[in-house]
Structure 1
Amino acid sequence: MKENFVIVRGGGDLASAVIHRLYRCGYRVLILESDAPSAIRRMVSFCEAVYDGEAFVEGVLCQRIEKAEDCEQVWKAKEIPLLVDPEGKCLSALRETGRLSALIDAIIAKRNIGTSREMAPLTIGLGPGFQAGEDVDFVVETMRGHDLGRIIEEGFAIPNTGIPGVVGGVSKERVIHSPAAGIIKNKAKIADLVEKGQIIAYVGETPVEATITGVLRGIIRDGYSVWKGMKIADIDPRKEEKKNCFTISDKARCIAGSVVEILMNQGVMP
């Protein structure tokens, strides 16, 4: 008898924390991604399999597949399949199998870009942009603070403020946005210790400087075409936390736990 499975839209760092937790709990997961994901924390993002064919996150392997039918082989190998299908074109056929149990929108686009309750028997949206009870069944709060991970049965998550959460006493200064449009060429790599003012990349001919001193926790993939103002890097001011570049964050683990809670309370078991 073939087992049921869960679909996760998105494979960035928050999505990957959810995927990793589901995998560790015994769920079969299929990731749906875009053809050019722009993850910053690439060392903990399964979406890197789009480019490299595979990606490891804390000992769990994700394999890119070319068609939905290839899922079974990857699941049998105790791995996670990723399919490039940003519009969810495969969903109709997968629903007809009767095995699709739930769909989680973990794109973190700060708006709903196409998820509806009709897509799966149970739908969950992470962060702002979704209305619980309308376009999805449940919403999980993603804003750092007292309500992080709160399960919302009616209504919305906190609207996007545009201000990053505080890490090591630093908020917006730790996040770097592109000063220009163009192709990025990285000069520093993830986990490097960088000094304020140090050039960590170029966008075209425009230098990108570190905004604070700390550990380069994330930087967008070398060669990516970025737009002016796009988030491209993240610095952790806590130099002693270098190891965190390669592990799932506390915020992401909290959100992942809430997703599992919803699934289990709704009778969606591994």
Structure 2
Amino acid sequence: MTAGMRPLVVLRGGGDLATGVAWRLQRAGFRIAILELAQPRVVRRAVSAAQAVFFGSHTVEGLRFVATASSHAAAFANGQPWAGIAQPTQTTTAAANVDSQESGAAVPVFIDEHFELQPALNAQVLIDARLKKRGIDTRLDMAPLVIGLGPGFVVGRHCHAVVETQRGHTLGRVYTTQGAAALADTGVPEAVAGHAGARVLRAPCNGEMLAQCEIGALLEPGAVVCTVAGQGVTAPFAGVLRGLMQSGLQVAAGEKIGDVDPRSNPAHCFMISDKALAVAGGALEAVLHASSQ
């Protein structure tokens, strides 16, 4: 890293919570890079950096995320010019070229499931924001400061700090005591305006998911939101389509593929959520606290 450069924070995952963290840390002066899957499984795509994988670039509340080849990782980490690329999943999308002047305001999104870019990026901070909850493969030795978001992470085993992601009195709280962990996953979706499990759309079977509605669409009960292998998935109540996986993905029976919000405010679909910002505040606190020690 060039002398005087801002610290680099790498986030594993580009979903809506990860994007909220990236947005807040970037505004606080940190450089950000995102690592994602080749076919991201995000539901709240409108506010997810992962969407850049499908379309070459994606902007969330003024912050532009750009799909970037792994070969540009070292250049980005060292403050040199780098360039985004258009992904083959959307051949009609123009390449998102990022020059040295613009790159400071854009965030690269690399396809890297197993953090193989660790040597090239040489990040000062690694945040695992994938919300895997189990099968954690992030390790303490991956960066000088490693932070885990949500359940499954244990301080001293996987990371140096854990940020609480469960709504309630402790949302956004930072745990740094050896052996500390976030609240366990309940397996029950958080209630929104009295709707909990019903607001989550799940695949009825294995197969290709094809969207029939756009995120932000107002839905009536029974409206077909998408199909999976030809089977319709319908809105359980009146509301707005808050999230839906990318059309064309192969999904598994029972997998979460969408989310209906009964508050029926389309604008909320395109804003970083209160929860994401609370978690982001915790992540920022963890970074600043560690740097002050």
Return the TM-score normalized by structure 1: 0.94
How far 1:113 moved relative to its partner? Answer: 3.2
Q: Is the contact between residue 12 and residue 47 of structure 1 (CA under 8 Å) also seen in structure 2?
A: yes
Does structure 1 residue 183 correspond to structure 2 residue 216? no
The Cα of 1:92 is off from its aligned counterpart by 2.6
Q: Distance in 2 between matches of 1:152 and 1:261?
A: 11
Partner of 2:183: 158
Give the structure 1 partner of residue 91 of structure 2: none
Residue 169 of structure 1 aligns with which residue? 194
Match of 1:69 in 2: 74
Output the aligned Cα RMSD: 1.4
Which residue pairs with 1:253 in the alignment?
277
- Distance between the aligned counterparts of 2:207 and 2:270, measured in 1? 28
Unaligned 5+ residue runs, structure 1? Answer: none
Letter in 2 for 1:216: L
Cα shift readout 1:180-200 (whole Å, capped 9, x = no counterpart): 110011111101111122111
The offset of 1:111, in angstroms, is: 2.0
Q: Distance in 1 between matches of 2:176 and 2:28?
A: 23
The equivalent position to 1:206 in structure 2, one of 211, 227, 231, is 231
**Aligned with residue 157 of structure 2, among 134, 139, 143:** 134
Q: Deviations over 1:192-238 (max 9, x none)?
A: 11112211111012111112210000011111100000000001101
Secondary structure in 2 matching 1:267: helix
Among residues 25, 33, 50, which one is paired with 1:47 in the alignment? Answer: 50
* C-alpha distance in structure 1 between counterparts of 2:163 and 2:257, whole Å: 25
What is the rounded CA distance, in whole Å, between the counterparts of 1:7 and 1:186 in structure 2? Answer: 31
**1:225 maps to what in 2?**
250
CA distance in structure 1 between the partners assigned to 2:142 and 2:9 by the alignment = 12
Alignment CA distance shift 1:112-1:17 (3 Å)? farther
**Residue type of the alignment partner of 1:92:** P
The one-letter amino acid paired with 2:23 is H
Q: Tell me, what secondary structure is at the counterpart of 1:14?
A: helix
Determine if the alignment matches structure 1 residue 87 to structure 2 residue 111: no
Pairing partner for 1:33 from 36, 50, 57: 36
| Partner SS state of residue 46, structure 1 | coil
Distance 2:101 2:38 in 1: 25
Cα pair 2:35 2:113 within 8 Å, conserved: yes
Q: How far has the Cα of 1:70 moved from its partner?
A: 4.2
User: Given residue 116 of structure 1, which amino acid in structure 2 is its aligned partner?
Assistant: R
Runs (5+) with no aligned partner, structure 2: 83-99
With 220-229 and 147-156 compared, the bigger mean Cα shift is at 147-156
Alpha-carbon distance between aligned partners in 2 of 1:265 and 1:157, rounded to the nearest angstrom? 18
The residue identity in structure 1 corresponding to 2:34 is I
Change in 2 beyond 3 A, CA 1:93/1:86: same
Determine if contact 2:224/2:235 at 8 Å carries over to the other structure. Answer: yes
CA distance in 2, matches of 1:119, 1:248: 28
Structure 2 Cα separation of the partners of residues 102 and 196 of structure 1:
45
Q: 3-state SS of the aligned residue for 1:156?
A: coil
SS in 1 for 2:187: coil
Contact 1:124 1:138 in 2 (8 A): yes
Q: Shift of the alpha carbon at 1:93? A: 3.6
CA positional deviation for 1:162: 1.2
CA contact (8 A) 1:8 1:32 kept: yes
Does the CA contact (< 8 Å) of 2:200 and 2:256 recur in 1? yes
Q: 2:120 and 2:64 mapped to 1: Cα distance?
A: 25
Secondary structure of 2:50's counterpart equals helix
Report Cα offsets for 1:90-118 as digits up to 9, x if no partner: 103433xxxx2110000111124310010
Question: Deviation string for 1:59-91 (max 9, x for gaps)?
Answer: 110111112134232575221111111100110
